[in-house]
Structure 1
Amino acid sequence: MQDTAHMARAIELAARGHGGTSPNPVVGCVLLDAGGEVVGEGFHAYAGGPHAEIVALREAGERARGGTAYVTLEPCDHTGRTGPCSRALLDAGVTRVVIAVPDPTPKAAGGAARLRAGGVTVTSGPLAEQAERVNAEWLTYARLGRPHVTWKLAATIDGRSAAADGTSRWITSAEARADVHRLRARCDAIVAGIGTVLADDPHLTARPAPADDPSLTAGPVPADDPRPTVRPARPLRVVVDTDARIPPYAKVLDGAAPTLVAIAEDATATGLDADHVRLPRHDGGGLDLHALLKELAAREVVSVFLEGGPTLAGAFVRDGLVDRVIAYVAPALLGAGPAALGEAGVRGIGQAHRLIFDEVSLIGPDVRLTARPVPPPHSREK
């Protein structure tokens, strides 16, 4: 029971790092002294900054000796922008470490083995599912070699994303739209299709941007290790534009945030004055989305916020590339108009893409539904 309670607190701390740690994981740590009293807490607040264990150890000081550390992710065992946390725990005299999730990366893994070799008792597993959920973006990136994809949609109760005449401004409330910008700001990239760009000419920015959003400041750090003066970059805007149709006056090319245009290898990109990447087509048609995500991963994009229309969303769902769905449902009925999701490879009810609800909440007058795909049998992902 005690292990569960302290790990739950560590998971709560880890969540505070969302929006600041990419391309690193979010991690939380709770440190107890030899008598079982909490003497230190920490979380990884920003990439390049002190890891959760280091923050907790600094707070605990000598009281860490003989104590227990609860960590949401296996302590790292390599030297990158910071030193190995496994050795820091050994040097501090911690005698027991409880880990929720093992580190899946060959470079950083091995912390548990080093701790055991140093005489530390290592326990694994408490609240593993919850710890995986809080770190879902990075774990997807580390395990699958691609970014974690969240598909956001806004629709009426009857599933329409726009009216019969094509108008869709605004289906959901100001509160829901503000919530979307908050979620955008926590992702590394916002992805939309050329159809959305041509129809709506969106900015695809996060307003307020991460640097201006007080909810994204992850809390205090030690006085001798201040936060960097360089704030997080605005999310990368990605336009899936297979045939290079984007007009030069599109708002996504306004320089307000970095933009990448993904076009087909055989597309004629006459006059395309923007950062772009050529990718193979999928079965001779639209872009190969697996190749797109691989390219984004190579650019250290850990999390993607998919904002495209029904066609692009359907392609992502069809290819099994949606890891989370966030649906804003407005209390309205249209009866006609485009559906929120296009062709997704479903021919019969048995092929339906089933989801698990994680959260249902009111956002102003709207309902926000958060769900994730039912994992396939024997999947390593929870």
Structure 2
Amino acid sequence: MTFLPEDERLMRRALELAARGPAGANPRVGAVIADPHGRILGEGWHHGAGTPHAEPTAIADAARRGEDLRGARMLVTLEPCNHTGRTGPCSEAVVEAGLGSLVYAAPDRTPQARGGAEALRHAGLEVTAGLLEAESERLNRRWSLRMSEGRPFVTAKLATSLDYAMAAADGSSQWITSEESRRHAQSLRRRVDAILVGTGTVLADNPRLTAREDDGDDAVRQPLRVAVGLREVPAGAAIRGEDGRFRHVRTRDPREALRVLAAEGAEHVMLEGGPQLLGAFLDAGLVDETWHYLAPMLIPGGRAASARTAAASLSDADRMVLESVERIGPDVLLRSQTLDSPDRGGPASPAPPAQDPTAHEK
């Protein structure tokens, strides 16, 4: 295992780029291409499902700069994939670019994607592994856990007052957060494969759960609209729609709901509400990240955003890693990932290094 003097600096830059990508069904990956003197020729990161991966993005960036990549060195935070999904194999893109060597931090352990390093070696590239592997693994710890469990990645979206109320005592909740926050949340709806609500929320609020573009039109790609629970969904409920994208998962067990959705091909699901559904997923340790929109108001006696089993002491609290803080109109969006805990499927993980809170938005 041989690394050049500049490799650690360049890999840390690749990790910074990776952290800009969204958590979700795909790992966060960053890539940097450099000449033998350590001068950066191109860089990129994965912007989310369906978009080019970090490696071809860095190659395209170098092409825009007019750089010659023949014999150059790429540093990437995850082993390049070797399969065709929504995009082509990154291993092929690296070979076609004429790069001479590649260093990656962590191996890709997913059966359908691994093998990129071997393919690159067969093509004549010098490939070295393991530089800052722990940092890369920590960045994608929730993705790795989701892959090992064979379930979708779960994002819980909350919209509350400062005192954590999602509705007033009479149930009114339109609108706690601003129009800007509601429009911003559509970016998450457009990205996920399924949006989940409890049947109680369906009966109380009659939500549509469609994904919309910034101009208010329905997005071309619509997620599954899923009602979870044992109560019947009325024939005329808005969630049913007319496009065949409605599912009623008749269970109160969050793990069973995720098994059903995984069988449907869902890799990333969003919890929209209500408090019973969110509480059940949190109690089961099945929430991987939260998008929490906080509005600058207080609602005395308001309804809590989740119905949880009470924590006996502070040691029973769910610890989170704050990923970013963003001002959305008059509101604030906190994006956090949950830490693994010994009683919920894995060892406790240390928090990653502090990052620029606006990095995800660059």
- Partner residue in 1 for 2:242: 255
Q: Which residue of structure 1 aligns with residue 353 of structure 2?
A: none
Structure 2 match to 1:111: 116
Inter-partner Cα distance in structure 1 for 2:32 and 2:349: 25
Please state whether the residue corresponding to 1:100 is helix, strand or coil.
strand
State the identity %: 45
In structure 2, the partner of 1:358 is: 323
Spell out, residue by residue over 1:77-112, the C-alpha distance to the aligned partner (whole angstroms, 9 max, x if none): 346676644355456553331223321212322323
Matched residue, 1:284:
none
Which residue matches 1:237?
225
- Alignment of 1:320 with 2:320, yes or no, is no
**CA distance in 2: counterparts of 1:50 and 1:325, whole angstroms:** 25
Paired residue type of 1:352: A
Q: Is the CA contact 1:137–1:147 (under 8 Å) kept in the aligned structure 2?
A: no
* Residue in 2 that maps onto 1:160: 165
Per the alignment, do residues 82 and 130 of structure 1 end up closer, same or farther by CA in structure 2, a change over 3 Å counting?
Answer: closer
1:242 and 1:162 map into 2 onto residues whose CA distance is 24
Q: Secondary structure at the match of 1:307?
A: strand
Matched, 1:379 2:347: yes
User: How far apart are 1:129 and its partner, in Å?
Assistant: 3.9
SS of 2:226's equivalent in the other structure is strand
Change (3 A) 1:89 1:24: same
Shift of 1:174: 1.6
Say if 1:7 and 1:127, in contact at 8 Å, map to a contact too.
no
* Cα deviation, residue 191, structure 1: 0.9
1:268-347 matches, within 5 Å, as 287-344=252-309, 346-347=311-312
Q: 2:196: which partner in 1?
A: 191
> Match for residue 132 of structure 2?
126
Q: 1:100 aligns with which of 99, 102, 105?
A: 105
Distance 1:81 1:15 in 2: 22
Distance change >3 Å, CA 203–CA 257, structure 1 → 2:
farther
Instruction: Give how far 1:312 is off.
Output: 0.7
How far does residue 11 in structure 1 lie from its aligned partner after superposition? 5.3
Q: Is the 8 A contact 1:137 1:302 kept in 2?
A: no
Whether 2:174 is the aligned partner of 1:169: answer yes
Summarize the Cα distance change of 1:380–1:210 in structure 2 as closer, same or farther, 3 Å threshold: farther
Aligned residues: 339
Query: What residue in structure 1 maps to residue 358 of structure 2?
Result: none
Shift in Å at residue 288 of structure 1?
Answer: 2.1
> Unaligned 5+ residue runs, structure 2?
351-362
- RMSD over aligned CA atoms reads 3.7
2:186/2:211 contact within 8 Å kept: yes
Alpha carbons 2:91, 2:120 under 8 Å: kept: yes
- Determine helix, strand or coil for the equivalent of 2:324: strand
Q: Give the residue type in structure 2 aligned to 1:237.
A: R
Question: Does 2:139 match 1:142?
Answer: no
The 3 A distance-change label for structure 1 pair 328 and 322 is same
SS state of the match for residue 230, structure 2?
A: coil
Q: Is the 8 A contact 1:158 1:333 kept in 2?
A: yes
Shift of 1:316: 0.2
Instruction: Evaluate the alpha carbon distance shift between residue 27 and residue 196 of structure 1 in structure 2; reply closer, same or farther with a 3 A threshold.
Output: same
**Bigger shift: 87-96 or 105-114?**
87-96
Letter in 2 for 1:299: E
Question: Cα offset for 1:44?
Answer: 5.6
Give the drift of 1:373: 2.0
Q: Provide Cα deviations, 1:190-229, integer angstroms capped at 9, x if missing partner.
A: 111111111111111222179979xxxxxxxxxxxxxxxx
Q: Secondary structure at the match of 2:304?
A: coil
> Which of 63, 66, 69 is residue 64 of structure 1 equivalent to?
69
Bigger shift: residues 185-194 or 294-303? 294-303
CA distance in 2, matches of 1:39, 1:74: 20
Query: Is the contact between residue 34 and residue 41 of structure 2 (CA under 8 Å) also seen in structure 1?
Result: yes
**2:167 aligns to what SS in structure 1?**
coil
Task: Please name the residue that 2:354 is paired with.
Answer: none
Contact 1:104 1:143 in 2 (8 A): no
Give 3-state SS (helix, strand or coil) of 2:158's partner. Answer: strand
Match of 2:31 in 1: 29
Please give the per-residue CA displacement for 1:138-170, whole angstroms capped at 9, x wherever unaligned. Answer: 545433211111111122222221111111111
Q: Note closer, same or farther for the CA distance 1:197–1:40 as it changes in structure 2 (3 Å cut).
A: same
Structure 1 residues 258-288: Cα deviation after superposition (integer angstroms, max 9, x where no partner): 2211114xxxxxxxxxxxxxxxxxxxxxx22
Alignment of structure 1 residues 45-56 onto 2, 5 Å: 51-54=53-56, 56=58
- Which residue identity does 2:241 align to in structure 1? D
Partner of 2:360: none
Residue segments in structure 1 that go unaligned for 5+ positions in a row: 214-230, 265-286
